[in-house]
Amino acid sequence: MSATMTRNSDITIKALQAVGEEDAEYLVSLIGSTPGFPKDGIIFRDFMPVLADARGLDILLRGFAAALPIDPSDFDTVAGLESRGFLFGPALASRFGKGFVAIRKAGKLPPPVFTESYDLEYGSASVEIEQNAIHPGERVLIVDDLIATGGTARAGADLIEKAGGHVAGFSFLMELDGLNGYAKLSEAPISTLIAMPA
């Protein structure tokens, strides 16, 4: 751990409590914080040590599974948002016998694709999905590591709908308090495992 990285006492355990207090606290102890990265005023939350720790990874996947916002019978596919949704989305999909679909940053997939743009603090960005990735009427659980303002998740949901699918729910590892990201995702149930200050 670098000298500037600290462990967190400001993380609130939410749905992660479904795995039990001891395991929840163990997982949170693995998440690092680096103030001033990537720029001043930002605290970078690093959950990569969770993935590198066998117990931590098991707790994370059990947490996602236990805290699903919907019953596994109510979705057909898991979609992961680039890039960290790719890290646990396939494992979660496999746990429930579902397929996995990647929602990628623009320019990473061969055509034909559906594209959706969204606003950033300074400018805009786009995400894409292959046009044949979702079957009409398919029910999709969208997963990602973090919900902040909700822009990326909203764009991902719009892509699923553009492809003919239905967004069944959203599942996030972390949420940033006070940014009201849920307001953009009001059409489907949402779960988050932990919360922290923005």
Q: Which pLDDT value is given to residue 121?
A: 67
**Number of domains the chain is built from:** 2
Residue % of the chain over a pLDDT of 90: 74
Average pLDDT of the segment spanning 137-165: 95
What secondary structure does DSSP assign to 44-76, as a single string? Answer: EEE-HHHHHSHHHHHHHHHHHHHT-SS-GGG-S
Q: Cis omega before residue 110 (within 30°)?
A: no
* 109: CATH: 3.40.50.2020
Task: Answer whether residue 1 is part of any domain.
Answer: no
Q: Which one of the listed residues 45, 84, 104, 139 is annotated catalytic?
A: 84
Q: Which one of the listed residues 7, 55, 121, 138 is annotated catalytic?
A: 121
Q: What is the mean pLDDT of the chain?
A: 91
Domain containing 84: what range?
A: 71-197
Annotation says 84 is catalytic: yes
* Residue predicted with more confidence, 45 or 74: 74
Task: Answer whether residue 30 is part of any domain.
Answer: yes
Annotation says 21 is catalytic: no
Q: Which pLDDT value is given to residue 4?
A: 38
Question: In the predicted model, is pLDDT for residue 83 greater than 50?
Answer: yes
Q: Which pLDDT value is given to residue 41?
A: 83
Same-domain pairing of 51 and 75? no
Same-domain pairing of 166 and 77? yes
Name the band, by pLDDT with cuts 50, 70 and 90, for residue 8.
low
